[in-house]
Structure 1
Amino acid sequence: MTLPDSSTITYLDSADVARLCAGLSVVDLAHDTLLAYRRKEAGLTPEAALRWTTPSGASARSLILPGWSGDSYGCKIINASLGNHLLGRPRAAGLVVLNDPETARPVCIMEGGRISALRTAGVSVAALRAVRDPAAVRSVAFLGCGRQAEVHGELLAGACPGVTEVFVHDQDARRAEELAARWRAAHPSVAVTVAEGARAAVERAEVTVAVTTTTQPYVELDWVPAGGTFVNVSLDDAAESLLLGCDHLFVDDWELVVDDDHRLLGRLARAGRVAGPGSAAPEGGRAVDASLPALFSGEYARAVAPGDRVVVNPFGMGVQDIALAAAVYARAAEQGVGLSLAH
């Protein structure tokens, strides 16, 4: 057995991570990691959360998400403050730490913001690919115009080459206009419109990606057109009527959803209004149709009809960060990229 040099740690900064991520099949990796999770070849433990109010009055938090994928073990530390956009900084930033599987010593520390955003978008696009024909998608809406919208836009541009219309909305109108301007410049054949409101964006799109910071549900069932797909990445954009009334409801991991007391779907589950996959629907409520691993494996037998409304409600799993970070670290080792730091 050849052990790595235990006297050093490789550090990959944001530029290193961005270069190493380029060309990675992020969507396929997200898809395959969830299947590995289903086979118990990848896993995670409960996250730890530290929350506080900043001196300026903004809500802030630090999350630690341990996980493993194959022979890669580590954790993501992802921090965020809702006041960061007022300071001209991204809402979230963090680190991923990878450990040697034999000695358990840390072997790599990398900037985690790009990893976190990419794995999140990768899961979203993998889920979309499982329920719709991405090549047939013509219109997409984004609720929220921050980093997550940017990265989702990157991956969707590759997965949905037939998109001709994009609608964006953000409570900060300036951010929406700036994102629209960047996308118009990058994709001149696509009409990018700043919608007057969230409903105007959702109603006109076949696919909506919600990437906001709201804690107040507001997107109702009748906002989503027949055949629409709503990807509820952020906390609570989808209202009760949408979660309970959509034709298909998918989550990445039911236990994570139930254990969370910050999101509406978890609150509905604890109130006996929503049951997990494979369970009978409670009276006046519903059951989640399937987990994403079950959907990806082909276990979910009910067809998604062209006119069905679909909601994908991913919680976010640290195992995805570890799988992507491990792929980045492998590339760094092959290419000799990174700063060597003394232990």
Structure 2
Amino acid sequence: MSHSEEGIRYLTAADVTGLVSRIDVPAVIRQTLLAYAKGAAGLSPEAALRWTTGSGHAARSLILPGWADGAYGCKIINASLGNVERGLPRAAGLVVLDDPETARPVCIMEGARISALRTAATSVVAVTAVREPAAVTRLAFLGCGRQSETHLELLAPLTPALREVRLFDLDAGRAGHFAARCRDLLGTGRQIRVTSTAREAVEGAGLTVAATTTTEPYVDLDWVPPGGTFVNVSLDDATEGLLLGADHLIVDDWELVRTDDHRLLGRLAAAGRVVGPDDPAPDGSRRVDTEIPRLLAGEYTRRVTATDRVVINPFGMGVSDIGLAAAVFDLARRTGGGTLLPC
């Protein structure tokens, strides 16, 4: 990703949206995760700043450094749970890319779209590795915000047999808005139903995506039907029973999970209830079955049967943000996108 420009290329949200629409995002994320599995991409420990706002809401700023195939940089992603009340997106951020030779910043781009797309694409490539999305007839979403919408954008072309989408959100207005968006993305012939409970949405769904702001786990093992896949995007929706009882438990990076003390899976790891994919599992604990990069590389050989319950827990890897941002930056440079700012 070496460059000869004098200045920093700045890409607004509109710039990023236009550029990324011309990129096969799941393919980029798959390539990045395969590079990670081979040691051709990597990440450093993330930093987190957390606080309570003056209005009493939880807020945080995360910095996720990473490198992928010669691209280096970091994502800065911030969120406040009070933003929704203000009519603002919950999360916003920036991605900064650096010159691999001089280490000087070469690009700053709006990061929320990058973050949402890399998260959804990670889910899609992981699901595709264990299931056949074309066979999914019922899809469920817990949480009806931007992240669920982004997942649907990427899933819609892959699910031609889809007959029903079930939605649940504590905010009925947000659920109704997402229902309308589902109809726009999926067209006619699919039933879009807002459910009165989360369990009603999950039961019978071949694929469930949980993208909420909860910190209290609530989705139990018996909610997920045999053969169902539960994508734990927001990380705290799945209960201990679901995490420990699923036939296959897949994470993106065990070290990120193991060192996190905010999410349930990390706390279970600290308590010795869950161990890594290469560790022996003592009595009373379970092993994480594999990591997504290793899954994509074909290293996970245990068969996923038609009746197995699968939990995918994508913690979020900064390397994926950098891989996707680098593809956007490369296209921007080739097409003259964005604004070149003087240093």
TM range (shorter): over 0.9
Structure 1 stretch 273-282 or stretch 238-247: which is displaced more? Answer: 273-282
1:12-60 per-residue CA deviation (whole Å, 9 max, x = no partner) reads 0011100100131111211121111111100010111111111111100
Q: How does 1:31-70 map to 2 (within 5 A)?
A: 31-70=30-69
1:96-150 per-residue CA deviation (whole Å, 9 max, x = no partner) reads 0001111111111000000000000000000110000111111110000111011
Equivalent pair of 1:73/1:98 in contact (CA under 8 Å):
yes
Displacement, 1:159? 2.0
Q: Could you say which residue in structure 2 is the equivalent of 1:160?
A: 159
Determine helix, strand or coil for the equivalent of 2:322. helix
1:339 and 2:324 matched = no
Q: How does 1:19-34 map to 2 (within 5 A)?
A: 19-34=18-33
Displacement, 1:239? 0.1
| Cα distance in 2 between the residues matched to 1:40 and 1:128 | 23
Displacement, 1:178? 1.1
Q: How does 1:16-165 map to 2 (within 5 A)?
A: 16-165=15-164
Q: How does 1:1-343 map to 2 (within 5 A)?
A: 3-6=3-6, 8-186=7-185, 187-343=187-343
Equivalent pair of 1:213/1:235 in contact (CA under 8 Å):
no
Determine helix, strand or coil for the equivalent of 2:161. coil
| Cα distance in 2 between the residues matched to 1:303 and 1:95 | 40
| Cα distance in 1 between the residues matched to 2:330 and 2:292 | 27
1:61-107 per-residue CA deviation (whole Å, 9 max, x = no partner) reads 00011110011000000000011111111100000000111111111
Determine helix, strand or coil for the equivalent of 2:77. strand
User: Aligned pair in 2 of structure 1 residues 34, 206: CA closer, same or farther (>3 Å)?
Assistant: same
Equivalent pair of 1:246/1:309 in contact (CA under 8 Å):
yes
Displacement, 1:188? 2.1
Determine helix, strand or coil for the equivalent of 1:55. coil
Displacement, 1:280? 2.3
Determine helix, strand or coil for the equivalent of 1:192. strand
Equivalent pair of 2:235/2:313 in contact (CA under 8 Å):
no
1:304-332 per-residue CA deviation (whole Å, 9 max, x = no partner) reads 00000000011100000000000000110
Displacement, 1:185? 3.5
Displacement, 1:3? 4.9
| Cα distance in 2 between the residues matched to 1:39 and 1:147 | 32
Equivalent pair of 1:235/1:262 in contact (CA under 8 Å):
no
Structure 1 stretch 97-106 or stretch 279-288: which is displaced more? Answer: 279-288
Instruction: Letter of the 1:24 partner, please give it.
Output: I
| Cα distance in 1 between the residues matched to 2:3 and 2:176 | 51
| Cα distance in 1 between the residues matched to 2:225 and 2:235 | 22
Equivalent pair of 1:145/1:168 in contact (CA under 8 Å):
yes
TM-score (norm 2): 0.98
Structure 1 stretch 122-131 or stretch 155-164: which is displaced more? Answer: 155-164
| Cα distance in 2 between the residues matched to 1:282 and 1:262 | 23
| Cα distance in 1 between the residues matched to 2:322 and 2:160 | 29
Determine helix, strand or coil for the equivalent of 2:48. strand
Instruction: Letter of the 1:99 partner, please give it.
Output: D
Cα RMSD between the aligned structures?
A: 1.2
Tell me how many residue pairs correspond in the alignment: 342
| Cα distance in 2 between the residues matched to 1:209 and 1:197 | 15
| Cα distance in 1 between the residues matched to 2:233 and 2:242 | 14
Equivalent pair of 2:249/2:312 in contact (CA under 8 Å):
yes
| Cα distance in 1 between the residues matched to 2:202 and 2:143 | 12
Q: Which runs of 5+ in 1 are unaligned?
A: none
Equivalent pair of 1:125/1:159 in contact (CA under 8 Å):
no
Structure 1 stretch 291-300 or stretch 258-267: which is displaced more? Answer: 291-300
Displacement, 1:161? 2.3
Moved over 3 A (4+): none
| Cα distance in 2 between the residues matched to 1:275 and 1:173 | 39
Structure 1 stretch 16-25 or stretch 277-286: which is displaced more? Answer: 277-286
| Cα distance in 1 between the residues matched to 2:300 and 2:122 | 17
